[in-house]
């Protein structure tokens, strides 16, 4: 799941070398993906009215269902 989000974010960012993705598991067993990008790329990653970020979250949830787990995306 981490690689999927990293691929999408690097494709959208103008500074792909500044994209950093980490994966953690919280107390409830939910996978939390944390995405960090350069300040000038945050707008591209979030998109107008959050549409790009929402689409990334939907893709992540679909992947999580295949792995029989729950996942959440945090953009820092």
Residue pLDDT, tens place only, 13-65: 999 999 999 999 988 889 999 999 999 999 999 999 999 999 999 999 999 99
Extract the tokens encoding 62.
Answer: 């679909």
Give the whole-angstrom CA distance, residue 38 versus residue 13: 8
Using CB atoms within 10 Å of the CB of residue 9, give its burial: 0 to 12 exposed, 13 to 18 middle, 19+ buried.
buried
Measured over all CA atoms, what is the biggest interatomic distance in the chain, rounded to whole angstroms? 35
- Residue 33's CB: how many other CB atoms inside 10 A? 22
Q: Which CATH number fits domain 2-75: 3.30.300.20, 3.40.50.10860, 3.40.50.620, 3.40.1050.10?
A: 3.30.300.20
Q: Please answer whether residues 46 and 72 qualify as being in contact, where contact means their C-beta atoms are separated by less than 8 angstroms.
A: no
pTM of the shown model: 0.86
């Amino acid at each position: 799941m981490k690689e999927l989000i990293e691929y999408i974010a690097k494709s959208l960012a103008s500074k792909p070398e500044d994209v950093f993705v980490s994966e953690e598991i919280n107390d409830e067993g939910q996978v939390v993906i944390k995405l960090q990008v350069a300040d000038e790329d945050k707008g591209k990653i979030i998109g107008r009215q959050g549409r790009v970020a929402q689409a990334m979250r939907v893709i992540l949830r679909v992947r999580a269902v295949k792995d029989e787990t729950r996942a959440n995306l945090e953009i820092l």
